[in-house]
Chains A and B, each alone.
Chain A
Amino acid sequence: QSVLTQPPSVSAAPGQKVTISCSGSTSNIGNNYVSWYQQFPGTAPKLLIYDNNKRPSGIPDRFSGSKSGSSATLGITGLQTGDEADYYCGAWDSSLSVVVFGGGTKLTVL
């Protein structure tokens, strides 16, 4: 059981937009920064979004992050088949003094 809650899977057609939610509490998302990671099978996760909504160099602006209260959302526009991957949210939890992750969301581009 993950501290952060994500939907197990989402799907959308190429060219469309999809959002992935990440729900937490005041001890993690509510009062700390959220980050998002993309992971392809057999490879290490890659940072997509940090500081709630900032993109590292090289990450296309098709990827966006937002936060409201104790929830965060990853948005992906102009979906491509190459976006099919697992996506994880993460945050520091001030009460547990740990980094917590969501359980991951598998994105399928139909």
Chain B
Amino acid sequence: QVQLQGSGPGLVKPSETLSLTCNVSGGSMSSHYWSWIRQPPGQGLEWIGYVFYSGSTVYSPSLRSRVTISVDTSKNQFSLRLNSVTAADTAVYYCASLSTGDMSFDYWGQGTLVTVSS
């Protein structure tokens, strides 16, 4: 069973870069797409993008200009970088495994609340 553990700073200053990492255990990095999803306080889910073990990526058009998702298969982890953050980027950020077949998120990390504030 795949387990995901996200980590990273809970507070980021406006205009700076948000960086989070997700450690993957219990599964092969080649078995899924590895994805980030965020949820602003009191709101719904927003998909950010995914990376495959090969390094290929797909991003949400609304965030594409500011986001980078990368993978390090040697460490069984993948990462999110979101630059030029504003208060609107304050959210709980989830890492999740995305099934390559039916595009469902079958395993989720616990979530990391990131607040953008000076």
Contacts and interface: CB of A to CB of B under 8 A. Distances in A.
Pair from one complex: yes
Interface of A: 2, 32-33, 35, 37, 43-47, 50-51, 56, 88, 90-92, 96-104
Query: Which of A99, A102, A103 has the most CB atoms of chain B within a 10 A radius of its CB?
Result: A99
A91 B103 contact: yes
13 contacts: A2-B44, A35-B102, A35-B103, A44-B111, A50-B99, A88-B44, A88-B45, A97-B61, A98-B60, A100-B47, A101-B45, A101-B47, A103-B44
Interface of B: 35, 44-47, 58, 60-61, 94, 98-99, 101-111
Contacts, number: 64
B104 A51 contact: yes
Contacts of A98: 47, 58, 60-61
Query: Which of B44, B47, B106, B109 has the most CB atoms of chain A within a 10 A radius of its CB?
Result: B44
Contact of B106 (A50, A92, A96): A50
Contact of B98 (A56, A88, A91, A99): A99
